[in-house]
């Protein structure tokens, strides 16, 4: 059985779905790893690294014809056309806003797994791409802020005098937000954070940050520890109360997303107007519209003297580690789909694909199977 690793074609994507270390693990399982030439170069991984791990370099036509194809970003129409019927495709597929893509995969007879739909349970933790990539994104977002901010992050004392530490606010304390808090603290900033779930306060305090108290008159706690969307009145109060508090910060990092919907507005234009010239806003929700109305997805702009960063793919800015974590997530997941030969099988027997639809992880993430669309939307909406 062959596993194909194509070069990512999406603009700006630098990650690769398998690293040499993980390729070696697949080979030990009796699988043939087929890699498109140059697939790992943008992540700092050479073809020689993969060849040494036991992977075979091949033209893209052979890679797309493998039994299993592993990707980072959704396939294009031309890439779907290269997949053979019955192929298991494992990738991020953006199922909330990519229903047409899911239907095309089903029509092509491709069995597709959307990594975004892996349930956030203890058993699935080692497969959770959203968490692994969000942690990297939170770290890289802080570095982006430090680069754009025209002053120091930490307090600095010199013979010419001293500077005060940068004041950072993090809005939304999921995986990305927690990592952003920790990274900003390591750089010496003073950090405060806000989330509509009051139970998150303890996590914020444990990282040495302060909790921004905002009473919107309703609970933002949803099921499973996730946040839920506020009512229209709650949103209005949230924006109004946050606006005055946020004006004092030098850097604001926003992370709030609701899958399948436009990102909620947390940082208003009024608040940005009140920030000091040279301040920085890092809007990590830019791919879904942004938490600030001034954000322009994919661009870095200056509005009212404040730099607003709408970067769309922070993990791709740290491609080596992002690829490393992502490939491990996929390897752990594929253990649910690959069946080793029985003890009494012939010596030349090889692993085979299996689809256990009774498994809760398989059932949640397998969006197409045998020509039909199985899902594409999780049971509950989640915020990161």
Tell me, yes or no, if 128 is annotated catalytic.
Answer: yes
Tell me, yes or no, if 381 is annotated catalytic.
Answer: no
Which residue in the list 47, 49, 226, 381 is annotated as catalytic?
226
Whether the Cβ atoms of residue 106 and residue 371 lie closer than 8 Å to each other: yes
Which residue in the list 49, 56, 120, 381 is annotated as catalytic?
120
Which residue in the list 21, 49, 56, 125 is annotated as catalytic?
125
Residue keyed to tokens 């199985």: 374
Tell me, yes or no, if 238 is annotated catalytic.
Answer: no
Tell me, yes or no, if 226 is annotated catalytic.
Answer: yes
Which residue in the list 91, 92, 131, 239 is annotated as catalytic?
131
Tell me, yes or no, if 125 is annotated catalytic.
Answer: yes
Which residue in the list 67, 128, 250, 283 is annotated as catalytic?
128
Convert 180-201 to b/e letters by CB count within 10 Å (16 or more is b).
bbbbbbebebbbbbbbbbeebb
Q: Which residues are catalytic?
A: 120, 125, 128, 131, 226
């Amino acid at each position: 059985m062959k596993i194909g690793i194509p070069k990512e074609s999406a603009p700006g994507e630098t990650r690769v779905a398998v690293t040499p270390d993980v390729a070696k693990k697949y080979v030990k399982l009796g699988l043939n790893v087929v890699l498109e030439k140059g697939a790992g170069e943008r992540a700092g991984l050479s073809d020689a690294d993969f060849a040494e791990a036991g992977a075979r370099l091949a033209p893209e036509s052979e890679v797309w014809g493998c039994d299993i194809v592993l990707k980072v970003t959704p396939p294009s129409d031309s890439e779907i056309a290269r997949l053979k019927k019955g192929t298991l495709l494992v990738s991020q597929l953006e199922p909330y806003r990519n229903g047409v893509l899911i239907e095309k995969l089903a029509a092509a007879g491709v069995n597709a797994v959307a990594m975004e739909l892996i349930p956030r349970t203890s058993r699935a933790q080692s497969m959770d791409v959203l968490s692994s990539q969000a942690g990297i994104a939170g770290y890289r977002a802080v570095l982006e802020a430090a680069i754009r901010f025209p002053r120091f992050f930490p307090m600095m004392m010199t013979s010419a005098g001293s500077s005060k530490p940068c004041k950072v606010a993090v809005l939304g304390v999921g995986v990305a937000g927690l990592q952003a808090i920790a990274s900003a603290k390591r750089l010496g900033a003073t950090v405060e954070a806000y989330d509509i779930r009051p139970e998150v306060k303890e996590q914020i305090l444990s990282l040495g940050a302060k909790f921004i108290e905002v009473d919107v008159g309703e609970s933002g706690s949803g099921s499973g520890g996730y946040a839920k969307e506020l009512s229209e009145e709650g949103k209005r109060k949230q924006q109004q109360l946050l606006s005055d508090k946020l004006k004092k910060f030098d850097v604001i990092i926003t992370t709030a997303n609701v899958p399948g919907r436009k990102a909620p507005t947390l940082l208003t234009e009024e608040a940005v107007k009140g920030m000091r010239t040279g301040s920085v806003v890092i809007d990590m929700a830019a791919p879904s519209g942004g938490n600030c109305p001034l954000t322009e997805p994919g661009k870095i702009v200056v509005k009212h003297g404040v730099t607003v960063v709408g970067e769309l793919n922070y993990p791709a800015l740290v491609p080596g580690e992002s690829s490393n974590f992502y490939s491990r997530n996929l390897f752990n997941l594929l253990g649910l789909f690959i069946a080793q030969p029985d003890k009494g099988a012939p010596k030349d027997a090889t692993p085979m694909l299996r689809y256990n639809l009774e498994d809760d992880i398989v059932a949640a993430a397998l969006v197409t199977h045998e020509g039909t669309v199985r899902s594409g939307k999780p049971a509950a909406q989640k915020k990161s």
